[in-house]
């Protein structure tokens, strides 16, 4: 394809200008159009079996750079723009980030689509076309405020299709209109699709924040991801979204099955559905319904669907395992009720234990239970997580169906999370070991041969230094904040949740603040960077953001502390921020309460960019620790088995935060929330609520680990001073990150589950 010719033609047709006369906005649009077409023109991968990856979220990030890279056009585009005196990076800044996901789970789905296409496997995504995303975060008076986050302009990555499916919702009918995003695979020459369903007449953005009429299903079904479920209308809207997504998706699957020349009775031989967490679980009864409508008996339909569906569990947090009242399903999709009742009846025949039933005595439908009884595979997302599922959370199911359980440790696409976001590091790696790691990321271990190469080690430090400097420029432009690029960049970027324990990191900041005020200066200046959105209805998470923003302000105003300690919370943390910050990170904060983080993927991205993990033995941190060895990671904290016992009522082991609060050091830190200097900046009620919760409840046990956390972090800061030894730690982390390529993860899914 002649990129130059196509670009010239596009800018002439659209703007009546030659490319070198266009502004960045126009050049972006032209590149978008040309790239979209190039991806669209690629053939789909061939195969007798096809995967459909169902997910409520696909946190895609910007696509221009990624797609140029996958299409092999990136260097050409860069040179071409340079010949017109332009900069590809500046043009890419024009792209809005599609806002179709929330955190790790949605980003995983996006990395998976990238790897599936790169490996040339036939696999499409199925999801919803949210117009305003989760929300756009702004900080107002040291608090989070939420606004719509639109991303669909006149031109976008969406490719219109002719496909429309009817979806019958109790009292009324909806039409699901299909839009596609092409997913070109790197080095594979093929492209898959992300299928996004939308309502026919989507509503304009709400006028006031993210408040809208949640009963106006027809127009608002696809407005926001995870609408506020604080009331019944919000919860019902989520069920409408889920049913709309799976009904349309199931119809698409059966239509394509027919087009491929197979009968409905052959579904399982030619189709596999991966259910990403429980949001798409209703695809099981919906497919059964559609198959019986096409003439299969109930037995046959159940058999086909059970051999088609596989379920990925992402969490052991009880509140996240969805249970919907049957009354909601009665309202949203009454046609599913008799099927779900029948599935429950049959499950009880196999296993009479009511704890494993689909429908409980309160009339709640346990979505995960339906997935496990009527799917052929259940996987956790890191070795420890899968073990906990088998040993405790899903123990009864494991006893019933031991062969269904398997582990698939998460991964990330190194094309986006190393090659695209960190070109300088990529060049250094290429110089050391050549480019073969792109096809076979395991080859990154070749970097271990350079452990004693002073030139490489010092080059590595320079690359990191430049990345910090670059990030400082970006932050200055975005938020007007000036940082010291020689400071240690200590990074905690992830959804705000008490189990991830940003509050524990805030207690570290308080400790350092107090020490510096007392004249005890640290060995090295530290910049603590946070990026996190809180679910709008999650009060304690909002309070933690408030605390961090107050600490940020407190230190900014303090000329004594400021040179040694800074705190920054990035506004509207998203994939684009992650791509900018991760190359600059020195310390990767992965401090969840052991047993609570299923895997984490931020930990993998940071490691691949030479950050050293400071973490608990939780999720994939356990596997990172095994790979890099004890000298190249900082671990601390109670182990998962102890934590699980502390949640247990029996034997009086239960965690009591007050016992930990009443130690001199901890009490002082927690009480700082009510200090005059913080109260002057913050909201007294919010700070008091957070203080009371930390002291008297602390459900995620920050006080259990905080003292060890602070001393291990002090150790990391001290050892950072030995630059050569730190560079070795960085090198080992990069060298061992190949295991966490999502290409490896997808190969394993294919070998063990999909068989494409």
Catalogue the active-site residues.
Answer: 314, 494-495, 500, 601, 605
Backbone angles phi, psi at 168, to 5 degrees: -95, 120
103 vs 127 by CB, closer to ligand PLP: 103
286 vs 743 by CB, closer to ligand PLP: 743
In order of 441, 531, 580, 752, 755, the CA distances from 742 in angstroms are 10, 23, 20, 15, 17
Is 104 a binder of ligand PLP (CB under 6 A)?
yes
- Number of residues forming the site for ligand PLP (CB under 6 A): 11
- The correct pick among 578, 584, 638, 703 for binding ligand PLP (CB under 6 A) is 578
* Smallest distance, ligand PLP to C-beta of residue 691, A: 26
CB 471 within 8 A of CB 510: no
315 vs 487 by CB, closer to ligand PLP: 315
* Smallest distance, ligand PLP to C-beta of residue 212, A: 24
Q: Which stretch in 101-109, 163-171, 324-332, 628-636 sits in contact with ligand PLP by CB under 6 A?
A: 101-109
Smallest Cα–Cα separation from 126: which of 287, 326, 313? 287
444 vs 575 by CB, closer to ligand PLP: 575
User: What's the rounded Cα separation, in Å, for the pair 78 and 76?
Assistant: 5
Smallest Cα–Cα separation from 529: which of 506, 513, 510? 506
User: What's the rounded Cα separation, in Å, for the pair 677 and 553?
Assistant: 11
CB-based contacts of 238, cutoff 8 Å, min separation 6:
226, 227, 229
401 vs 508 by CB, closer to ligand PLP: 508
Is 574 a binder of ligand PLP (CB under 6 A)?
yes
125 vs 600 by CB, closer to ligand PLP: 600
Is 107 a binder of ligand PLP (CB under 6 A)?
yes
User: What's the rounded Cα separation, in Å, for the pair 396 and 373?
Assistant: 12
Is 459 a binder of ligand PLP (CB under 6 A)?
no
- The correct pick among 602, 610, 615, 637 for binding ligand PLP (CB under 6 A) is 602
Write out the DSSP string of 447-476: GGGGTT-HHHHHHHHHHHHHHHHHHHHHHH
148 vs 602 by CB, closer to ligand PLP: 602
CA atoms within 13 A on the CB side of 218: 6
Is 426 a binder of ligand PLP (CB under 6 A)?
no
* Smallest distance, ligand PLP to C-beta of residue 611, A: 12
* Smallest distance, ligand PLP to C-beta of residue 494, A: 3
* Smallest distance, ligand PLP to C-beta of residue 493, A: 7
411 vs 602 by CB, closer to ligand PLP: 602
For β-strands 191-198 and 634-635, DSSP reports them as unpaired
Three-state DSSP state, 124: strand
Smallest Cα–Cα separation from 623: which of 744, 503, 708, 457? 744
Smallest Cα–Cα separation from 637: which of 683, 690, 700? 700
60 vs 643 by CB, closer to ligand PLP: 60
Residue 350 burial by CB count (10 A; 0-12/13-18/19+): exposed, middle or buried?
Answer: exposed
Smallest Cα–Cα separation from 156: which of 179, 134, 175, 189? 179
* Residue showing the smallest CB distance to ligand PLP in the complex: 602
CB 117 within 8 A of CB 40: no
* Smallest distance, ligand PLP to C-beta of residue 142, A: 22
Is 26 a binder of ligand PLP (CB under 6 A)?
no
The structure tokens listed for 512 are 């350092």
Is 575 a binder of ligand PLP (CB under 6 A)?
yes
91 vs 421 by CB, closer to ligand PLP: 421
Q: Which stretch in 25-33, 102-110, 165-173, 452-460 sits in contact with ligand PLP by CB under 6 A?
A: 102-110
CB-based contacts of 481, cutoff 8 Å, min separation 6:
475, 568
- The correct pick among 45, 103, 264, 375 for binding ligand PLP (CB under 6 A) is 103
Is 127 a binder of ligand PLP (CB under 6 A)?
no
The structure tokens listed for 33 are 């159009």
Backbone angles phi, psi at 538, to 5 degrees: -95, 95
Is 494 a binder of ligand PLP (CB under 6 A)?
yes
Is 418 a binder of ligand PLP (CB under 6 A)?
no
Q: Which stretch in 103-111, 214-222, 248-256, 648-656 sits in contact with ligand PLP by CB under 6 A?
A: 103-111
Q: Which stretch in 131-139, 194-202, 574-582, 678-686 sits in contact with ligand PLP by CB under 6 A?
A: 574-582
Three-state DSSP state, 362: coil
Q: Which stretch in 128-136, 456-464, 599-607, 707-715 sits in contact with ligand PLP by CB under 6 A?
A: 599-607
* Smallest distance, ligand PLP to C-beta of residue 602, A: 3
* Smallest distance, ligand PLP to C-beta of residue 128, A: 19
User: What's the rounded Cα separation, in Å, for the pair 598 and 614?
Assistant: 17
356 vs 388 by CB, closer to ligand PLP: 388
CA 90 to chain centre: 26
74-101 burial code (b ≥16 CB/10 A, e <16): beebeebbeeeebebeebbebbebbbbb
The structure tokens listed for 43 are 């053939």
* Smallest distance, ligand PLP to C-beta of residue 433, A: 25
User: What's the rounded Cα separation, in Å, for the pair 46 and 111?
Assistant: 21
For β-strands 364-366 and 323-325, DSSP reports them as antiparallel
Is 601 a binder of ligand PLP (CB under 6 A)?
yes
* Smallest distance, ligand PLP to C-beta of residue 570, A: 11
Is 546 a binder of ligand PLP (CB under 6 A)?
no
CB 4 within 8 A of CB 155: no
* Smallest distance, ligand PLP to C-beta of residue 293, A: 40
Binding marks (x or -) toward ligand PLP, 129..158, rule CB under 6 A?
------------------------------
Q: Which stretch in 28-36, 255-263, 598-606, 669-677 sits in contact with ligand PLP by CB under 6 A?
A: 598-606
CA atoms within 13 A on the CB side of 297: 2
- The correct pick among 600, 615, 637, 682 for binding ligand PLP (CB under 6 A) is 600
Residues in the site for ligand PLP, rule: CB under 6 A? 103-104, 107, 494, 574-575, 578, 600-602, 605
């Amino acid at each position: 394809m002649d990129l130059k010719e196509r670009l010239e033609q596009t800018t002439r047709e659209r703007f009546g200008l030659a490319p070198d006369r266009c502004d960045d906005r126009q050049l972006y649009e032209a590149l978008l159009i040309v790239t979209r077409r190039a991806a669209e023109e690629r053939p789909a991968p061939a195969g007798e079996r096809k995967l459909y990856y169902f997910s409520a979220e696909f946190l895609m990030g910007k696509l221009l750079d990624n797609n140029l890279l996958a299409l092999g056009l990136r260097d050409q585009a860069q040179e071409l723009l340079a010949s017109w005196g332009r900069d590809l990076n500046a043009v890419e800044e024009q792209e809005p980030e599609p806002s179709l996901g929330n955190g790790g789970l949605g980003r995983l789905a996006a990395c998976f689509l990238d790897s599936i296409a790169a490996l040339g496997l036939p696999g499409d995504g199925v999801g919803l076309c949210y117009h305003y995303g989760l929300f756009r975060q702004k900080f107002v008076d040291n608090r989070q405020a939420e606004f719509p986050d639109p991303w669909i302009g006149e031109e976008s990555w969406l490719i219109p299709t002719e496909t429309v499916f009817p979806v019958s919702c109790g009292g009324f009918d909806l039409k699901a209109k299909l839009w596609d995003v092409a997913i070109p695979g790197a080095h594979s020459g093929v492209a898959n699709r992300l299928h996004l369903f939308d309502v026919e007449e989507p509503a304009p953005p709400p006028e006031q924040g993210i408040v809208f009429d949640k009963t106006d299903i027809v127009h608002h079904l696809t407005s926001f991801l995870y609408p506020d479920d604080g009331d019944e209308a919000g919860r019902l809207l989520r069920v409408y979204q889920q049913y709309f997504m799976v009904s349309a998706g199931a119809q698409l699957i059966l239509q394509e099955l027919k087009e491929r020349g197979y009968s409905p009775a052959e579904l399982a031989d030619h189709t596999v559905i991966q259910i990403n967490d429980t949001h798409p679980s209703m695809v099981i009864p919906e497919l059964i319904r559609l198959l019986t409508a096409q003439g299969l008996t109930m037995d046959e339909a159940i058999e086909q669907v059970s051999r088609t569906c596989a379920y990925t569990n992402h969490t052991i947090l009880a509140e996240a395992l969805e249970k919907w009242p049957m009354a909601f399903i009665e309202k949203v999709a009454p046609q599913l009720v008799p099927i779900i009742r029948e599935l429950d009846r049959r499950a009880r025949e196999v296993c009479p234990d009511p704890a494993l039933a689909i429908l409980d005595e309160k009339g709640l439908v346990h979505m995960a239970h339906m997935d496990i009884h009527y799917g052929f595979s259940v996987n956790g997302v890191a070795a420890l997580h899968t073990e906990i599922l088998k040993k405790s959370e899903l123990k009864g199911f494991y006893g019933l169906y031991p062969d269904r359980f398997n582990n698939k440790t998460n991964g990330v696409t190194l094309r986006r999370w190393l090659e695209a976001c960190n070109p300088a590091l990529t060049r250094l790696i290429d110089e050391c070991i050549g480019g073969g790691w792109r096809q076979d990321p395991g080859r990154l271990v070749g970097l271990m041969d350079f452990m004693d190469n002073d030139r490489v080690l010092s080059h590595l430090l320079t690359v990191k230094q430049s990345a910090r400097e670059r990030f400082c420029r970006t932050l200055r432009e975005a938020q007007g904040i000036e940082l010291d690029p020689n400071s240690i960049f200590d990074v905690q970027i992830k959804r705000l949740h008490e189990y991830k324990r940003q509050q524990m990191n805030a207690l570290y900041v308080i400790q350092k603040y107090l020490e510096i005020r007392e004249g005890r200066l640290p060995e090295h200046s530290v910049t603590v960077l946070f990026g996190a959105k809180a679910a709008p209805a999650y009060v304690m998470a909002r309070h933690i953001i408030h605390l961090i923003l107050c600490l940020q302000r407190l230190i900014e105003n303090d000329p004594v502390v400021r040179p040694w300690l800074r705190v920054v919370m990035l506004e509207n943390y998203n994939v684009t921020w992650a791509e900018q910050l991760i190359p600059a990170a020195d310390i990767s904060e992965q401090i969840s309460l052991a047993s609570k983080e299923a895997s984490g993927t931020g930990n993998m991205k940071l490691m691949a960019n030479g950050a050293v993990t400071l973490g608990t033995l939780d999720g994939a941190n356990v596997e990172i620790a095994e790979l890099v060895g004890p000298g190249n990671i900082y671990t601390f904290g109670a182990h998962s088995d102890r934590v699980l016992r502390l949640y247990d009522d029996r034997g009086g082991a239960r965690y009591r935060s007050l016992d930990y609060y009443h130690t001199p050091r901890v009490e002082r830190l927690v009480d700082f929330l009510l200090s005059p200097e913080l109260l002057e900046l913050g909201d007294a009620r919010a700070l008091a609520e957070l203080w009371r919760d930390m002291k008297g409840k602390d459900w995620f046990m920050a006080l259990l680990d905080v003292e060890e956390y602070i001393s291990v972090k002090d150790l990391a800061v001290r050892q950072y001073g030995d630059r050569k030894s730190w560079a070795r730690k960085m090198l080992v982390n990069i060298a061992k990150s190949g295991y966490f390529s999502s290409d490896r993860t997808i190969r394993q899914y294919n070998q063990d589950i999909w068989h494409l």
